[in-house]
Structure 1
Amino acid sequence: MIKAELKQKYYQALIEKNSEYEGLFYVGVKTTGVFCRPTCPARKPKFENCEFFETAKEALLASFRPCKRCRPLSHPNHVPETVRMLVEAIEANPEKRWKERDFEYLSIDASTARRQFKKRFGMTFVEYARARRIGMAMKQIREGENVIDAQLSASYESSSGFRDAFSRIMGAAPSQLGNGQVLKAEWLDTRLGPMVAIAGDEALYLLEFVDRKGLEREIERLRQKTKCAIIPGSAGPIRSIAEELHAYFDGKSKEFKTPVHYLGTPFQKSVWDELRSIPAGETRSYAELAAAVGKPSAFRAVAQANGMNQLAIIVPCHRVINSDGGLGGYGGGLTRKQWLINHEKQGN
């Protein structure tokens, strides 16, 4: 039974379409007989016409049917069929340079593809395809092929055009990259909303909720510190963490074995290591964490190191709370922090 004060909080989240509440509740609308997720774009019902549920199953058992607009039985931010088809087409032939007739062949409207890709990835389909082509070119350059060969493979007839496009996406011209690494970025749907994962061939560098404030700055810092290009694509560590996250949210596992790469000072790294030693289902105060790393008076620095963590859930900064029992801060939002703490306590 959901308490009255929690219903008020859920209703406010519904009005604001607050993505932090994805997966935490569903709302049944008595006047229409449908149930929705918190971020549903449909017109909002009055509070007295709402019935709140913790799971979709509860809503179904209460005779509500799933909303056709927000599709509550699918993942948050469900990938449209158009996007899925085009991503698969790019992966089948990543060097292809797309033209209008290619969309016609797939019975896809080019403007629809542009709009849906922009909403999903923050770039148009053409920009996505170009990034993928240049990623292939980057791989060729790293493996020792001539820049001109890579340029032709990426379908650029003009060398200046290739350099400009390459620099815009990669952050450096081909001749300046040498043997520099390329990092891949992929969108992962989770019960608490979408996350972005960035990894190289050997380790995961970043895992964050997409709606985290300052995510763009985090990614830019990552690009600058690693001197790497970041392009759409998958990598072994991303596939690994996707499987582990699935098991985590299903309550089947609380361990993460995907290799990670820290980007921080020795002190920050010591804090992150200590965070990973906190058992799932337990919490520590910032003061306790400072004492554990041998800096008992540095609890503010510990809190700052928590905020600089770029590996959400894996490096569990959500397990650190205030000494008075308050939640403190969390980049992914306090609602998610409370959910993660409660989720990890289950079964302990």
Structure 2
Amino acid sequence: MITDEKMKHAYYKALLERNTAFDGIFFAGITTTGVFCHATCPARKPKYEHCIFYDTAEEALLSGFRPCKRCKPLSYPRSIPETVQKMVELVEAEPEKRWSDRDFSELGIHSATARRQFKKVYGMTFVQFARARRMGIAMKTIKNGEKIIDTQLDAGYDSSSGFHDAFTKIMGRKPKQSKELKVLSADWIDTELGPMMSVADDDYLYLLEFVDRRGLEREIERLRNRLNAQIIPGKTKISEQIKAELQQYFAQSLKAFKTPFILMGSDFQKSVWQQLLMIERGETTSYKELGTKLERPNASRAIGNANGANQLAIIVPCHRVIQTNGGLGGYAGGLDRKQWLLNHEKNYLKKN
């Protein structure tokens, strides 16, 4: 999301003037209609305060906006092959669906060809697109705290049953379906590295992740199953605490995270995460060194998998684990974020 006021005004001016030089440079989410457009959209122009600007279409999708049917922002700057157009229509018809190779075969589409064509046109894979559209439904509700019916209409559904199918497949069953069901609250947190989502109750934080993290849906699913929980949009004293602490962290004024949290995983995963919590800010360790400390010197791969299963980004600092040769290794939030966090924490030490 674009936050620089000067840039936002420049983009809004381009939107009003339908300036072709800005097509593909930004995407404008229109809060009153729930769609996003590119600069030359012929539709009636919204007020400035109703526009949110994004660098990429994926960001707009994850924020819950759907592609405008008039300007078709996802088609810029290329025409769309028939196969790709068909795939987009299928996602819009059933955005809650998780696609597999079998689904492509049943449609008479070769999955590899479809993926290649889709990425060529949109700069993201079909799986990324479908996931972003799917997660956007849930994220829009979490971000804005809107009434269910309003979100349903903005998401493009004609009936409440369609919306509930999409939302509850990610966030769980409705509370009235089980007296034993635990209810957790999900909140949206804007950060310098992109939006994050927290999941908490009034006592503990259970999940803190970047909204665009690959595998986030499965993390949510595992959490729901372990706790027999449903996740609803909302704020708690814990979600407010972690939001405030993250603001301090990015401002380099936080001494330590004090938000109470619960680690949800196997005994081995928990042992890895406990070691991560001992790595001082501004320092790094290697997968091999972690294995030695855990008395599992040959468990680098397992340790890497445990890092990938970490559900508390930044708090449990898996970004501080690098390869023995100094390479970054992996990071579920993306290597650019990992490098940024490491640089941020080194500067943190210099400042403090």
Asked if TM exceeds 0.5, the reply is yes
Structure 2 gap segments, 5+ residues each: 14-20, 26-50, 64-134, 151-163
TM-score, length-scaled by structure 2 = 0.55
Equivalences for residues 252-291 of structure 1 within 5 A: 252-291=253-292
CA distance in 1, matches of 2:334, 2:166: 36
Is the 1:188–1:194 Cα contact (8 Å) retained in structure 2? yes
- How far did 1:181 drift? 2.1
CA distance in 2, matches of 1:291, 1:127: 46
1:174 and 2:176 correspond: yes
Is the 2:185–2:231 Cα contact (8 Å) retained in structure 1? yes
Q: Which amino acid aligns with 1:274?
A: Q
- How far did 1:176 drift? 2.9
Equivalences for residues 1-348 of structure 1 within 5 A: 42-43=22-23, 70=53, 121-122=139-140, 128-130=146-148, 170-171=172-173, 174=176, 176-178=178-180, 180-348=181-349
Alignment match, 2:118: none
Q: Which amino acid aligns with 2:147?
A: A
Q: What's the CA shift string for 1:267-309, capped at 9, x where partnerless? A: 1111101101000000000000111122222111111100000
Q: Which amino acid aligns with 2:53?
A: C
TM-score, length-scaled by structure 1 = 0.56
Is the 1:254–1:344 Cα contact (8 Å) retained in structure 2? no
* Equivalenced residues, count: 226
Structure 1 gap segments, 5+ residues each: 1-18, 35-40, 46-67, 81-116, 133-162
Is the 2:142–2:188 Cα contact (8 Å) retained in structure 1? no
Change (3 A) 1:166 1:211: closer
Change (3 A) 1:122 1:255: same
- How far did 1:202 drift? 0.6
Is the 1:254–1:280 Cα contact (8 Å) retained in structure 2? no
- How far did 1:126 drift? 12
Change (3 A) 1:176 1:338: same
Alignment match, 1:89: none
Aligned-partner SS, 1:202: coil
- How far did 1:171 drift? 1.7
CA distance in 1, matches of 2:322, 2:143: 42
Structure 1 outlier segments of 4+, above 6 Å:
25-28, 117-120, 124-127, 163-169
Q: What's the CA shift string for 1:55-101, capped at 9, x where partnerless? A: xxxxxxxxxxxxx87389xxx98xx9xxxxxxxxxxxxxxxxxxxxx
Is the 1:283–1:319 Cα contact (8 Å) retained in structure 2? yes
Larger radius of gyration: 1
CA distance in 1, matches of 2:144, 2:6: 38
User: What percent of counterpart residues are identical?
Assistant: 46
Aligned-partner SS, 1:346: helix
Change (3 A) 1:120 1:303: closer
Is the 1:272–1:306 Cα contact (8 Å) retained in structure 2? yes
